[in-house]
């Protein structure tokens, strides 16, 4: 996909949520043990606490993340006025996008019985913007939308929401090693 293809998505992603629930949206409650079946990440680098909804028709997903004030990153990232690093917000959106790719590739909102973590690598951040600070104790909603999937690579848009406020938005691309 050419960068110009992202222009409408980039404009919208800064102003409103990536998606809203529709008739095909399924509420789910996947927690860390389930998420670990989809992601190769583990603590302290597993940043998706819960998956709350999936919509196969819209190719979208929603999840949750609570920013733990005890996270050691706060000792060195703006001590005295801690701010969660933008690069970790990108990683959070990317992890939820990897989860979304599992559901889209299975055409189901359920985790397949034989699910195992995807062998995936970051390829490119097409665009990223940070619109509001994320601080200790913030409760975040993570939104993801699959933009393109050609079996070897996937492009996903992600958003971090603090209540109704868009804190971060990005479009990123990954490569599936096993493809």
User: What CATH number is associated with residue 60?
Assistant: 3.10.129.10
Query: What does the radius of gyration of the chain's CA atoms come to, in whole angstroms?
Result: 15
What span, in angstroms and rounded, lies between the C-alpha atoms of 170 and 9? 10
155: domain range? 3-13+25-176
Which pTM value belongs to this model? 0.95
pLDDT for residue 54: 99
Taking a C-beta distance cutoff of 8 angstroms, is the pair 147, 157 a contact?
yes
pLDDT for residue 67: 98
pLDDT for residue 5: 78
Q: Which residues of the chain have pLDDT under 50?
A: none
pLDDT for residue 3: 59
Residue 18 lies in a domain: no
pLDDT for residue 179: 60
Summarize pLDDT for 70-83 with one digit per residue, the tens.
999 999 999 999 99
Assigned token pair, 162: 């603090």
Question: Is there a catalytic annotation at residue 41?
Answer: no
Number of domains in the chain: 1
User: Which of 128, 106, 129, 102 lies closest to 117 in space, CA to CA?
Assistant: 102
Q: Which of 77, 102, 109, 126 is catalytic?
A: 77
């Amino acid at each position: 996909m050419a960068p110009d293809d992202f222009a409408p998505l980039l404009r919208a992603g800064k102003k409103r949520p990536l998606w809203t629930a529709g008739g095909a949206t399924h509420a789910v409650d996947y927690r860390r043990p389930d998420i670990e079946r989809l992601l190769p990440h583990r603590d302290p680098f597993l940043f998706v606490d819960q998956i709350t909804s999936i919509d196969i028709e819209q190719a979208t997903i929603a999840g949750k993340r609570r920013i733990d004030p005890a996270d050691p990153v706060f000792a060195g990232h703006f001590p005295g006025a801690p701010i969660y690093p933008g690069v970790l917000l990108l990683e959070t959106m990317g992890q939820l996008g990897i989860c979304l790719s599992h559901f889209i590739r299975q055409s189901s909102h359920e985790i397949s019985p034989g699910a195992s973590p995807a062998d995936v690598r970051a390829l490119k951040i097409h665009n990223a913007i940070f619109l509001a600070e994320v601080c200790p104790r913030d409760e975040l909603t993570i939104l993801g939308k699959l933009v393109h999937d050609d079996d070897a690579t996937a492009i996903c848009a992600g958003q971090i929401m603090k209540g109704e406020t868009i804190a971060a938005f990005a479009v990123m691309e990954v490569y599936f090693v096993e493809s």
